[in-house]
Amino acid sequence: MKITGSIAEIRTIVQNARKEGKRIGFVPTMGYLHKGHLSLVEISKQHADFQVMSIFVNRIQFNDKKDFEDYPRDFERDFALAQSAGVHLMFTPDERDMYQNHLTYVEVESLSKYLCGATRPGHFRGVCTVVSKLFNIVLPDVSVFGRKDIQQALIIEKMVHDLNFPIQIITAPTIREEGGLAMSSRNKHLSHDERTRALSIHRGLLKAKSLIESGNRNTTEIKAVIQKEIEAAHPQKIDYIELVSYNSLHPIEKLDEKAILAVAAFFGNTRLIDNMLIHPCEGGFTCEL
Ligand code: PAF
């Protein structure tokens, strides 16, 4: 695996791979890799021959300076994991090269207002800006994002469509730890007790799944079942529990279309997110965690 922070070198290596007839797959990350990230590479391999990964802790998507500073980092461990997953090229740009004298930002309106966008102002503007830059540097054919960050994946799909990036976006299933906690680099910050209590998020989603699949369409009741489960586990704070339209991310009052049930809650100082897709099917809805 070749590792470089040079934008020029990334361009040359990718260009050469393309000249050899290879399709380019790209997995952008902020590092501290876990099985979730590695599963994105596995999916990328099904669609592309040459795998590129980036590790860049993108300051401009953090609305909290301490959260940025505390974000876990371990490049040597990441390099070993990426190499064993089959990454050919690792891009580790320098913050100065990415943002010196930077005045241009990318924002996907409307979709960025809801869920995490409501409680983390500027977050998706930071994500879209860095992902646009990375796309323009790497020029991949396909890029894979995790479904745990469903709002991010939908916003990036919309950005790619609206700005005519010739890139296929793939959204990959959430990978879970034992007990159902969605894998996240932030899980590292959880104490043993917080981790055990955080499993309530998954349990709440499973209870909502049973309710929905047995025919309940009442958003208030569906959200209440999750709230009760999480509150019993004494979170520091529930940021949101929302049932939103899959297309607009706008909260819905009655379940009558493809939707997302999304949760964000703090256990200790760690903010965790998770979600479930709700698909209309013959005679009702099926839920996908
Ligand atoms: O999901 C992430 O790790 C980040 O938001 C991303 C897409 C790498 C942009 O910094």
Distance CA 191, CA 198 (A): 10
The class level of CATH for 185-288 reads: alpha beta
Q: Where does the chain hold its CATH 3.30.1300.10 domain(s)?
A: 185-288
- State the fold for domain 2-172: Rossmann fold (3.40.50)
Our answer on whether the CB atom of 29 is closer than 6 Å to any ligand 1 atom is: yes
Beta-bridged to residue 276, according to DSSP, are 261
Our answer on whether the CB atom of 127 is closer than 6 Å to any ligand 1 atom is: yes
Our answer on whether the CB atom of 200 is closer than 6 Å to any ligand 1 atom is: no
CA-54 nearest atom, ligand 1? 8
Amino acid identity of residue 33, one-letter, is L
Length of the chain: 289
φ/ψ (deg, to 5) at 179:
95, -15
The verdict on whether 37 is a catalytic residue reads: yes
* Cβ partners under 8 Å of residue 251, min gap 6: 114, 219, 242, 243, 244, 245
Distance CA 164, CA 283 (A): 37
Residue whose C-alpha is closest to residue 103's, from 129, 81, 127: 129
Q: Where does the chain hold its CATH 3.40.50.620 domain(s)?
A: 2-172
Q: What is the pLDDT along the chain (289 residues), one digit of tens a residue?
A: 999 999 999 999 999 999 999 999 999 999 999 999 999 999 999 999 999 999 999 999 999 999 999 999 999 999 999 999 999 999 999 999 999 999 999 999 999 999 999 999 999 999 999 999 999 999 999 999 999 999 999 999 999 999 999 999 999 999 999 999 999 999 999 999 999 999 999 999 999 999 999 999 999 999 999 999 999 999 999 999 999 999 999 999 999 999 999 999 999 999 999 999 999 999 899 999 9
Catalytic-labelled residue, pool 34, 37, 192, 234: 37
Largest Cα separation within the chain, whole Å, is: 57
